[in-house]
Structure 1
Amino acid sequence: MRAFRLAYDGRPYSGFQRQPDVPTVEDALFDALRELDVESPPPGYAAAGRTDAGVSALAQTVAFEAPDWLTPAALNGTLPGTVRAWASADVAADFHATHDATRRTYRYHLYAPNIDDERARAALDRLAGEHDFHNLTTDDTGTVRRLDTDCHRDGDFLVVTISAGGFARHMVRRIVALVRAVGAGESGADRIGRVLGPDPLDGAAGVATASATPLLLADVTYPEVDFARNPDAAASARAVFAERRVDARVAARVTSDLTDGVQER
């Protein structure tokens, strides 16, 4: 068995997991394996998690029975540029990429030039520890989680980091939406107590789901696995994502020009 670290720009995809009639990261991976004459899906295949549509990843992890020659660089030869393998590790025959992960870390780049950082940080601190997050997910079970939280200011952005053994559906994005509302003064700090309380909050009282595109799966921890960075594959990933970063900056300049031009007329 071999485990691979995958990095991807999730914006073109309808999530990680295969779905009918829409592009997904898993489809791109399986298509790449077929081009390499590797059985797809391969024996023993599992992934660390299912990122939603638009969510990106630095350390999505997949593992399967791979031929000896299948390195991250070889895999990148048939993957689309939006998905790059960059590290790998040989793992035990019974390794499972989902069940053997002990910790997952998400990072959210919240555009927040005008929120109060201290209020936002206090809200995050209140959400840390073990709670029942039933009001911050659409799941009916598995809602009790233990979180570690942190945030720091980076220009106009508040970078929110949340770690746990696992997360319920939409949980991270709803936490971010709640923190933003408290930090912006749209909700009082007492709202967090109501959200964490036993009563269900629906409709206007509930918490909306923040946008998916600023969210990144930053790390997945496997205590017994030592991933080796593949220099060629990592260089390919850096080059591809650096080019996409330039494209995004160019698009931001154009839309800024449009905004300013409309304002002036």
Structure 2
Amino acid sequence: MPRFALKIEYHGAPFVGWQRQPDLPSVQGAIEAALARLDKREHTISAAGRTDAGVHAMAQVAHCEMPEGWTAFRLSEALNFHLKPNPIAIVDCAEVPSDFHARFSAMERRYLFRILTRRAPATHQAGLVWQVKHDLDVDLMQQGANALIGRHDFTTFRSTICQADSPVKTLDHLQVFQVQTQQGVEVHFDVRARSFLHNQVRSFVGTLERVGAGSWKPEAVSKALSARNRAACGPVSPPQGLYLVGVGYPDDPFA
């Protein structure tokens, strides 16, 4: 059957995460249920990344197979109709070769994390950012972040329930910068790698927030990394500021 790549946007708050779980709302489960409305059989889709509960996506990628006769445009329109009222949207769809795999063909995952720094409660951005009530020094945070870039044993920044075979990963990019918005100053983290460990990005952000707040020195991040001990990690940030914003492939299916 023809294979289609789906570019998916979702608000993570109502879901237990991407991965289907019995009797619990998941992004994967909602999309598979919508596919079953279009083609009455059991559907199993694969995604580039399994986001956790409360984590959002602007450009998650998954693939599915549908019978002959479906076009990419018709499939995306039909899925969006049947996904209502879930906060999930198929923002692009493309027919791909049969050997395309949303997870195993991916060469890069890119995440964005947003921290809002203001004392007044967030209103329009509630549930979309991690709010802290103090200023953050982005220069110090970047100094700490620089120690994490490259190939390392990331045991310190790995969840204890992580199922990856090895804690060794290569972090290609971690940039910390400040953005002025109408709602206040946000600190953004642009994080890129081929793959990530469970809770790795949130562990980075929670630790670097302590550096920006002045509780940790930048060099403490390097020491925590070298410890290869989960207990050396700083606090893990909450999920609502995290977004999967891009997945890179050798041939972009949506180009």
- TM-score by shorter chain over 0.5: yes
**Offset of 1:208 from its aligned partner?**
2.2
Q: 1:86 aligns with which of 88, 91, 98?
A: 91
**Offset of 1:126 from its aligned partner?**
2.0
Q: Distance in 1 between matches of 2:230 and 2:253?
A: 43
1:203-239 Cα deviation digits (max 9, x unpaired) = xx432210001100000111213316xxxxxxxxxxx
| TM-score, length of structure 1 as denominator length | 0.79
| TM-score, length of structure 2 as denominator length | 0.82
The answer to whether structure 1 residue 130 and structure 2 residue 151 are counterparts is yes
The answer to whether structure 1 residue 103 and structure 2 residue 121 are counterparts is no
User: Could you say which structure has the larger radius of gyration?
Assistant: 1
Residues matched between the structures, number: 224
* Shift in alpha-carbon separation, 1:120–1:206, aligned structure 2, 3 A: closer
Structure 1: state its 5+ residue gaps. 229-265
Q: Secondary structure at the match of 1:71?
A: helix
The answer to whether structure 1 residue 165 and structure 2 residue 199 are counterparts is no
2:238 maps to a residue whose letter is S
Q: Distance in 2 between matches of 1:197 and 1:98?
A: 30
Root mean square deviation of aligned Cα: 1.7
8 Å CA contact retained: 2:155, 2:230? no
Q: Secondary structure at the match of 2:243?
A: strand
Structure 2: state its 5+ residue gaps. 118-133
The answer to whether structure 1 residue 186 and structure 2 residue 190 are counterparts is no
Partner of 1:53: 53
Partner of 2:253: 226
Partner of 2:179: 154
Q: Distance in 2 between matches of 1:104 and 1:201?
A: 23
The answer to whether structure 1 residue 115 and structure 2 residue 136 are counterparts is yes
Partner of 1:31: 33
The answer to whether structure 1 residue 74 and structure 2 residue 103 are counterparts is no
Partner of 1:231: none
Q: Larger helix proportion, structure 1 or 2?
A: 1
1:155-189 Cα deviation digits (max 9, x unpaired) = 32101110000000000000001110111111112
Q: Distance in 2 between matches of 1:181 and 1:34?
A: 46
